[in-house]
Homo-oligomer: A and B are copies of this chain.
Amino acid sequence: MQPFMSTAYITRKERFNSAHRLFRPEFSDEQNLKVFGKCSNPNWHGHNYTLHVTVKGEVSPETGFVADLKDLSHVINEKVIIKLDHRNINLEVDFMKGKLASTENLAISIWNELEEAVEKLGAKLHSIRVEETENNQAEYFGK
């Protein structure tokens, strides 16, 4: 339908609401408070996280798509959102077990959950961006 074959990037935004706590289990509450501040509260706190998944690939002349954003949304929900939303990141999320529940580690771990699944859609994962608050965010582009 169209002669050109071009590489483009598409981004899907999803959301999850979770509890978390920043702490090291070998530290006392006082030590954790000193290193992580109020984010180490032993009774947890939480956030409305926003997740931006960007994938890159050739625009298909059949569909005009890099990948179908409905399929990408489905994959993100199946692999990531369903495990994080209305959950405790420290206690209940398999892919965060044994890791500090920082925004950086969330971005890296979500990358690892999605990398292969995105390839099955015929595209390549480009970046994972996680907004914890309107002022704080982390982004990961792979190793």
B contact residues around A104 at 8 Å (CB): 8, 10, 59, 64-66
Asked if B137 and A11 sit within 8 Å, CB to CB, the answer is: yes
In the complex the two chains form, what is the Cα distance from A18 to B102 in whole Å? Answer: 16
Residue among A41, A64, A91, A107 with the most chain B CB within 10 A? A64
Q: Which among B2, B38, B101, B108 is the interface contact of A99 at CB below 8 angstroms?
A: B2
A79 sits at the interface (CB 8 A): no
Binding site for B on A (CB under 8 A): 1-2, 4, 6-15, 17-20, 22, 24, 35-39, 41, 43-48, 54, 59, 62-66, 69-70, 73, 85-88, 91-92, 98-105, 107-108, 133-141, 143
